[in-house]
Amino acid sequence: MPKHQSNKLKKRISILGNVEVEDRLGETTNKFERIKTIWAEIVPQTGSLQKQAADTILTNVTHKIKVRYTAGQDITKEMQIQFNGHTFEIKYILNPYFENKWLEIFVQEVLQ
């Protein structure tokens, strides 16, 4: 990321990977756990709320998360991002102009 934009990386995000863990019964299960923590800029893109049948609410909140290329080059779509109690599912990862300076990660918030 150019030096004049690196000051926008003010949010500390956690990258979660799907790892195998052994439970108390000795069985192996998959669970999202923190792999690393990096600096990022989080930009809200769009948001919508839709009321469904049986008073359930479906949300679609998407954000763009910008990180330095060197910090995020190992991030994949199978991972998740966590920030301030919010969990985001990765939809798309973009390397603008293939310059290897920063990554734009397009995500959707997961409601738990």
3-class secondary-structure state, position 97: helix
Backbone CA torsion sign across 80, 104, 101, 82: negative
Cβ burial, residue 95 (10 Å; 0-12/13-18/19+): middle
Rounded Cα distance between 28 and 22, Å, is 4
What pLDDT does residue 74 have? 96
Give residue-wise pLDDT tens across range 62-75: 899 999 999 999 99
What pLDDT does residue 1 have? 46
- Give residue 5's pLDDT band: very low, low, confident or very high (50, 70, 90): low
Rounded Cα distance between 49 and 45, Å, is 14
The mean pLDDT value of the chain amounts to 86
Q: pTM of this prediction?
A: 0.78
Give residue-wise pLDDT tens across range 23-43: 888 888 899 999 999 999 999
Is 7 a residue whose pLDDT tops 50?
yes
What pLDDT does residue 93 have? 93
- Give residue 51's pLDDT band: very low, low, confident or very high (50, 70, 90): low
Give the number of domains in the chain.
1
Helices and strands (DSSP H and E) totals, the chain: 2, 6
For residue 30, what are the domain limits? 3-110
Q: What is the CATH number of the domain that holds 62?
A: 2.40.10.270
Q: Which pair of tokens denotes residue 61?
A: 């909140």
Rounded Cα distance between 59 and 65, Å, is 19
Report, as an integer, the average pLDDT of 79-92. 94
